[in-house]
C-alpha cells in the first residue's frame, strides 16, 4: 500500500508491502524491514532495520479515521493518507487556503500563538490530543494570524477551522 505524509512543506511517500513474515517500508528509496513483535488494540511494537543493518525496536500507537491513519511514537505524531488523484488535486488547490482545520475530533491542549502574531512556515500553532496522541498543527506558510478560533481545553470537530492566516 502506498501512503503519504507531510512534514513541514515536504510531502513524503511511503510504500508498505508484506515481506516474508513482516513488512518492508520504502521511504525516499531507502528500504526498512519491519518485524512486528507485539500488536494490541491501538498499539504495536516492531523492530526495524535500515540498509546499514542497524536494528531499532519501536512502540507505535495508532488510530484510524477512514483512509487516514494516525501514528504516534517518540513524541511525534504522523498522519498517513492514501494518495489518490482526487486528494492530490484537493491538496494543491488548497495550498493557498487561509484556514487551518482540525484533522480529526480532538481536544485543544495548547494554543501557542495569538491573533496578529507573525508565524513562520512549519511553526507549531496548536497542540491537539486525540486517541492519546499529541497532534501538532503547524503553519503551512509564513504569514500572520488573522483569527484564532480555538481555546485551550476546547473540544473540536473534524474540519473545524481553528486558525485563519493572512
Both 10 and 75 in a single domain?
yes
Verify that 69 and 115 share a domain, yes or no: no
Residues 75 and 133 in one domain: no
Q: pLDDT grade, residue 97 (50/70/90)?
A: low
Of 34-43, 109-118, 138-147, where does mean pLDDT reach its minimum? 34-43
At residue 79, the 3 state secondary structure works out as strand
Indicate the number of domains in the chain: 2
Which of the two residues, 126 and 19, has the higher pLDDT score? 126
Task: Check whether residue 102 and residue 76 sit in a common domain.
Answer: no
Place of cell 525516499: 28
pLDDT at 83 over 70: no
Asked if the structure places residue 87 within a domain, the reply is no
Task: Kindly state whether residue 129 falls inside one of the protein's structural domains.
Answer: yes
Site of grid cell 521511504: 27
Predicted TM-score (pTM) of the model is 0.47
112 and 150 share one domain: yes
Report the candidate in 144, 8, 105, 153 with the shortest Cα–Cα distance to residue 163. 144
9-13, 133-137, 146-150: the lowest-pLDDT one: 9-13
Judgement on whether residues 9 and 74 belong to the same structural domain of the protein: yes
CA distances from 155 to 86, 96, 118, 129, 158 (A): 29, 26, 25, 10, 10
**Whether 71 and 125 share a structural domain:** no
Contact 66, 125 (CB under 8 A): no
Give the mean model confidence (pLDDT) for residues 10-36. Answer: 82
- Asked if residues 162 and 156 have their Cβ atoms less than 8 Å apart, the reply is yes
Which domain covers residue 42, as residue numbers? Answer: 2-80
Q: Which three cell numbers stand for residue 28?
A: 525516499
**96 phi, psi to nearest 5 deg:** -90, 5
Give residue 92's pLDDT band: very low, low, confident or very high (50, 70, 90): very low
Q: How far out from the chain centre does Cα 100 lie?
A: 14
Quick check: is 85 in a domain?
no
Q: Tell me: do 27 and 73 sit in the same domain.
A: yes
Q: What is the pLDDT of residue 164?
A: 93
Amino acid at each position: 500500500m502506498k501512503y503519504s505524509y507531510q512534514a513541514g512543506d515536504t510531502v513524503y511517500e511511503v510504500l508498505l508491502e508484506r515481506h516474508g513474515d513482516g513488512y518492508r517500508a520504502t521511504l525516499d528509496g531507502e528500504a526498512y524491514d519491519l518485524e512486528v513483535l507485539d500488536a494490541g488494540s491501538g498499539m504495536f511494537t516492531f523492530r526495524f532495520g535500515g540498509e546499514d543493518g542497524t536494528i531499532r525496536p519501536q512502540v507505535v500507537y495508532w488510530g484510524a479515521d477512514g483512509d487516514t491513519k494516525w501514528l504516534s511514537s517518540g513524541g511525534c505524531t504522523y498522519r498517513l493518507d492514501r494518495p489518490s488523484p482526487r486528494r492530490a488535486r484537493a491538496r494543491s488547490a488548497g495550498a493557498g487556503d487561509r484556514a487551518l482545520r482540525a484533522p480529526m475530533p480532538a481536544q485543544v491542549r495548547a494554543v501557542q500563538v495569538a491573533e496578529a502574531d507573525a508565524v513562520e512556515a512549519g511553526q507549531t500553532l496548536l497542540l491537539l490530543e486525540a486517541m492519546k496522541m499529541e497532534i501538532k498543527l503547524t503553519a503551512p506558510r509564513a504569514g500572520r494570524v488573522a483569527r484564532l478560533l480555538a481555546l485551550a481545553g476546547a473540544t473540536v470537530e473534524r474540519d473545524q477551522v481553528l486558525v485563519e492566516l493572512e
